[in-house]
Copies of this chain bind each other. A is one copy, B any other.
């Protein structure tokens, strides 16, 4: 769960945008490229900051608009953790994972577990609600903070 740089996803996202009738603006491109480089989820603010560090001057409103569009097209996945929303590439097919949050430092990391997925799928099928997606968030203290505290 630590793959960096996913050119396949970036291409996939660009193709889906075009297919949905959207033009290829500059802000969307750099947001896609940044997301494709990440190994875990980021907030809109983190994306904005990293883009500016890289020299891409984009407005934060464009970051939000891009993320909103990508989320609606199911190109990115949105996770609500505490007061902010986190975003990450939604890889069609592979790499389905969930998140662990450190209550001390706020750090977010990823994990995956096929048998947990099977449990969730089974529950989802047994409900009257139709279920199209899910999220699991574990909360606790990460190894670093455990050592420090």
Q: Which residues of A contact B (CB under 8 A)?
A: 80-83, 85, 100, 102-103, 109, 111, 113, 115-116, 118-120, 122-124, 127-143, 146
Contact = CB atoms under 8 A, between A and B. Distances in A.
Contacts of A111: 123, 127
A41 to B, nearest CB: 14
B115 A129 contact: no
A129 B138 contact: yes
A52 B115 CA distance: 46
A72 to B, nearest CB: 11
Contacts of A102: 129
Nearest to A132: B140
B115 A142 contact: no
